[in-house]
Each structure stands twice: as structure tokens, then as C-alpha cells.
């Protein structure tokens, strides 16, 4: 006599093993699509964003957000570095904070050595502070620029250790060379997820709240 209970279990087991490759294939496809179009992880290889982001921190990047709106001041973004910014690795990704968007007038500095954006003094408590409590200056050289339309002025939080818009402005005094195209952005870094002890949201600092819109061009 056939044990129908055992026969049913055998059929279910056989069905599972036949379907497993399909399930694995679907899972891999979903993972690839998510990485390509929605979310991607990046690790921090340099000290240019300390101590907001430390070396070997891992961040999660939203790759869809700028399909629906423009980048905003204060957001931390991953972008494809312009050729002149790269250290030799083709297609190198950089991570910096957006300071100025198209049309913004960015100046260093006010009487208290803060950057000014469209006449608004920017308080930046996130700028790197060393073990002795000494904070980097907002910029190591005075400048007065207007960000071209469709481009971004980006800076690292560790101002003295960042290859960013200011460094390339000092080298070239060419505003196109010193800024990045909005289209070069890979996505917005919105959280540190590793190491677990440093996990946090990467929100826009409150100092950017009062920055007015740029004056209309004449």
C-alpha cells in the first residue's frame, strides 16, 4: 500500500528543488535592478568628509531621488568625478556636500569667517574639528563665485583634506572646472549603515534653512 502522506511530502520536496533555481534567479535579478536603479552602497575611502563620514564608513545612496527633483544645498551626494578631478581611476566616484546650486552667489567670507550664500552667512558645525578642538576654516582662501546653471559647487566637510570645488577653483579660476554637472550625480547619500555604532541619517543641516533663492539674472 502506498503511503499517500509520504508521497505528498516527496512531491512538495521535489517541487521546491525544481523551483529553487528560478527563485534564486529572480532574487538576483531584483538585487541587480535595485542596485542599478534604486539603491546602492558605497564605502568612504578618504578623509575628505570627516567626521560626518569617516574612512571605511558605508553609506546607502538613493539613486532615484533626483529623477523627481533638483539637488538641494546641504545634501551629501555621490557623483562621477570630472576627468580633471580624478586621481587616475577612470570613472572614479566622489562624495561631497552641495554648498551652492545653479545661480547661487557663494563668497568667502563674512566678518566671522563663514561662507555666504546669496548674502546669507552659513553656519557649518559639521566642518572637521581635530583632536585638540581646532576646526578647519570654512575656506583656506577668499573667493567670490556664482554657480552656473545646471552645475553645483561642492565641498568636503574636512576642508583641509578635500579635493573639491574650492581646490579646483584655486588651481584654475575656471568656474566650469570648479563645479560639477548636475547630471554627474549618482545619487544622494542618506544614511550611514556601517559600522553599526555610527549608523545615522544624513539630513540637511539647519544652517541651510535660511539661504534665500539666488537673485534673478539681469
Instruction: Please list the active-site residues.
Output: 48, 96
For the chain, state the CA radius of gyration.
Answer: 23
Residues 6+ apart with CB under 8 A from 29: none
Q: Are 144 and 170 in contact (CB under 8 A)?
A: no
Q: Are 48 and 162 in contact (CB under 8 A)?
A: yes
First to last CA, the chain: 94
**48-84 burial string, b = 16+ CB within 10 Å, else e?**
bbbebbeeebbbbbbbebbeeeebebbbbbbbbbbee
- Give the rounded distance of the alpha carbon of 94 from its chain centre: 8
- Tell me the three cell numbers of residue 201: 541619517
Locate the DSSP E strands across 3-126.
39-43, 58-62, 76-80, 93-100, 105-108, 115-117, 120-121
Amino acid at each position: 500500500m502506498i503511503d499517500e502522506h509520504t508521497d505528498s511530502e516527496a512531491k512538495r520536496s521535489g517541487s521546491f528543488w525544481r523551483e529553487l533555481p528560478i527563485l534564486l534567479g529572480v532574487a538576483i535579478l531584483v538585487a541587480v535592478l535595485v542596485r542599478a536603479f534604486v539603491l546602492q552602497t558605497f564605502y568612504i575611502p578618504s578623509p575628505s568628509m570627516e567626521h560626518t563620514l569617516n574612512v571605511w564608513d558605508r553609506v546607502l545612496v538613493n539613486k532615484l531621488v533626483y529623477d523627481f527633483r533638483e539637488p538641494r544645498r546641504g545634501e551629501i551626494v555621490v557623483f562621477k568625478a570630472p576627468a580633471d578631478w580624478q586621481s587616475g581611476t577612470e570613472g572614479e566616484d566622489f562624495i561631497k556636500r552641495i554648498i551652492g546650486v545653479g545661480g547661487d552667489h557663494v563668497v568667502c567670507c563674512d566678518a566671522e569667517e563663514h561662507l555666504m550664500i546669496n548674502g546669507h552667512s552659513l553656519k557649518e558645525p559639521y566642518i572637521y574639528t581635530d583632536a585638540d578642538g581646532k576646526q578647519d576654516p570654512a575656506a583656506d582662501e577668499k573667493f567670490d563665485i556664482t554657480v552656473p546653471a545646471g552645475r553645483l559647487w561642492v565641498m568636503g566637510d574636512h576642508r583641509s583634506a578635500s579635493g573639491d570645488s574650492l581646490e579646483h577653483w584655486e588651481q584654475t579660476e575656471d568656474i566650469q572646472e570648479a563645479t560639477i554637472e548636475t547630471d554627474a550625480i549618482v545619487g544622494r547619500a542618506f544614511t550611514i549603515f556601517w559600522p553599526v555604532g555610527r549608523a545615522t541619517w544624513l539630513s540637511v543641516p539647519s544652517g541651510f534653512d535660511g539661504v534665500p533663492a539666488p537673485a534673478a539674472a539681469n
